[in-house]
Amino acid sequence: MNPAGLLEQARRAWAIAKKDIRIYYLKGPVLIFGVFMPVFLFLAFFLGSRQLPLSFLVSGLVGMTLFFTATAVSPAIFPWEGSAKTLERLASCPVRIETIVLGDMVASVLFGIAITAVTIAIGLAGGLPLLHGPTLGAAVLLAACCFSAIGMLLAVPPTNVPSNIMMLSSLIKFPLVFISGIFVPLEQLPGWGLALAICSPLTYCTDLVRYAFTDVSYFPVVTDLAALGLFALACTTLTMVLHRRTMPRRM
């Protein structure tokens, strides 16, 4: 595709993202799973684990908030639009399937970054020092792209019943939270737990956020950034390929 065509598709993806932000982001499931759930999990663990430093817990809350918010709406957009018959109208427009997916991902990225910025601001207001601002910014951006791609990957099954997708999403997201070093430091995990943690992109995001606040990380910062970038690239590529195959079965 020539540069003019790419620019036009980018404009259409941005139009789709604005549509998603305007229509979908105040729905109940988004607010519950994207905003309230991380806070409730944090409070429950904070009340039961006061021996852990606040910087450790708030860093985990930042990573968990970004993960939940960036994956809260993207899995359900296609089922919502499929059940409302608006997806057929969108697909009939001169827009590529990859452009539709990209637009949904952009909306999730912006939503995740916006809510996470509030969480970070609360942590800073509570007295946490920000020691590595650029690292934190890079971690939030890369993780938001990665988690948004994971959210769209969860939307691959060609069903127009949102509850089916949300159930699948919860079955995958909650185990990732508990194996990613959010509630238990990575150095305290058993060997099998650490092997699982390495397979989760949330692990590297949380490690980078902790480094930004505490100057301590389990993995080298370069390793964390590279792992997040690779996860983001792999998940995005797989999402585009699979949605191109399953989109016709949604119509």
The CA-atom distances, in angstroms, between 41 and each of 37, 118, 202 are 6, 17, 16
Calculate the CA dihedral of residues 25, 28, 34, 40 and round it to 10 degrees.
Answer: 150
Give the whole-number percent of the chain exceeding pLDDT 90.
25
pTM: 0.88
Q: What share of the chain is helix, strand, coil (3-state, %, to 5)?
A: 80, 0, 20
Domain count, the chain: 1
79 vs 106, residue with greater confidence? 106
Sign of CA dihedral 122, 42, 228, 112: negative
Cα angle 195, 199, 205; round to 5: 115
How confident is the model at residue 85, as a pLDDT? Answer: 73
The average pLDDT across 163-175 equals 81
Hey, what are 179's tokens? 């194996």
The closest of 73, 55, 57, 63 to 16, measured between CA atoms, is: 73
Q: What is the pLDDT of residue 34?
A: 61
Confidence of residue 29 (pLDDT cuts 50, 70, 90): low
pLDDT tens by residue, 53-91: 777 778 888 888 899 888 888 888 888 877 777 777 776
CA dist., res. 109 & res. 150, Å (int) = 11
Mean pLDDT of 147-153: 92
Binning pLDDT at 50, 70 and 90, where does residue 109 land? very high
| Residues spanned by the domain of 53 | 3-250
- Per-residue pLDDT tens over the stretch 120-144: 888 888 788 889 989 999 999 999 9
* Model pLDDT, residue 27: 66
pLDDT for 46 equals 63
Across the range 162-188, mean pLDDT stands at 83
Average pLDDT over every residue of 133-158? 91
* DSSP structure string for 25-84: TTSHHHHIIIIIHHHHHHHHHHHH-TTS-HHHHHHHHHHHHHHHHHTTSHHHHHHHHHHT
Q: What is the pLDDT of residues 215-243, one digit of tens each?
A: 988 999 999 999 999 999 999 999 999 98
CA–CA distances in Å: residue 139 to residues 72, 75, 209, 225, 229: 19, 22, 7, 7, 9
Judged by average pLDDT, the poorest of 46-50, 54-58, 105-109, 195-199 is 46-50
